[in-house]
Amino acid sequence: MSYCVHCGVELAPSEKECPLCGAAVIDTIKPWEEPKHYPYPKTLQRTYDSIDKRYSAIYASLFLAVPVAVSIITDICISGNITWSWYVLGAGLCIFCFFLMPILLKKRHIYLNVALDFAAVLIYLALIARLTSFSWYLPLAAPITVITASVFMASIYISKHAKPFSAAAAILVLTGIACVAIEILIDNFAFGYIKLFWSLIVTTSVFITALALLFIQKKQRLKEEIKKRLFM
């Protein structure tokens, strides 16, 4: 008969340490020995998910590789070079990064996944540019992709860390700024000069909405404050 020195409860002979606090049973007169009976058997019951998602993702990746490989081989056989099959390769890469990669990774790495998605988009666009011309890629496609990726990542970070209303406001402001940046890029590429128009409309409405959201957030706090003081 042992008692836990911390909790004061009596411990059943099966308990080598107190199940409540983890303190070991130290009995100098009668040291703890393996009991004949335990309250529960030793074997653990394990359940398995009927479909292993990662296994299926590996399978799907292999299936995805088939059309890509067939396209490349056909392309090489007919034109003696990789030409149009770059498109298929790029599209395959995008599908893989968007849908299969998140399942293949053992843990959820949201930032890594988003980064990979946008990297795949950048590569796909570069492949298209390779077949057409790089003139639109560097001044337009690449920066727009990078801006969108940054807004996306920042939004994820904000929504994880800020309060809902402030998060929504911050994401709206970011989107507004991104719109301005995108219009600058487009104007510069298309006309060679910058004259902001549509992004200003977006930005203004988005900023006002953000302000309204912050106001609600503030008011909520105000409400709580009043509640706390006038508690009945």
Cβ neighbours of residue 65 under 8 Å, at least 6 residues apart? 92
219: part of which helix (H) or strand (E)? helix 198-229
Query: Is residue 12 a contact point for another protein (CB under 8 A)?
Result: yes
Select from 39, 77, 80, 132 the one that contacts another protein (CB under 8 A). Answer: 39
Min CB(103)–another protein separation in Å: 16
Which residues between 19 and 38 bind another protein (CB under 8 A)?
Answer: 19-21, 37-38
Select from 31, 41, 80, 192 the one that contacts another protein (CB under 8 A). Answer: 41
Mark the segment that binds another protein (CB under 8 A) among 16-24, 62-70, 95-103, 214-222: 16-24
- Which pair of structure tokens corresponds to residue 58? 């590996």
Which residue's structure tokens are 């409309």? 201
Task: Specify the residue, 16 or 130, whose C-beta has the smaller distance to another protein.
Answer: 16
Q: How far is 13 from 39, CA to CA, in rounded Å?
A: 10
Which residues between 166 and 225 bind another protein (CB under 8 A)?
Answer: 224
Task: Specify the residue, 37 or 195, whose C-beta has the smaller distance to another protein.
Answer: 37
Q: How far is 80 from 18, CA to CA, in rounded Å?
A: 75
- What is the size of the binding site for another protein (CB under 8 A)? 29
Classify 10 as helix, strand or coil.
Answer: strand
Select from 30, 42, 107, 160 the one that contacts another protein (CB under 8 A). Answer: 42
- Which pair of structure tokens corresponds to residue 114? 């988003």
Min CB(164)–another protein separation in Å: 16
Question: Residue 2 pairs with which residues in a beta bridge?
Answer: 11
Q: How far is 171 from 214, CA to CA, in rounded Å?
A: 12
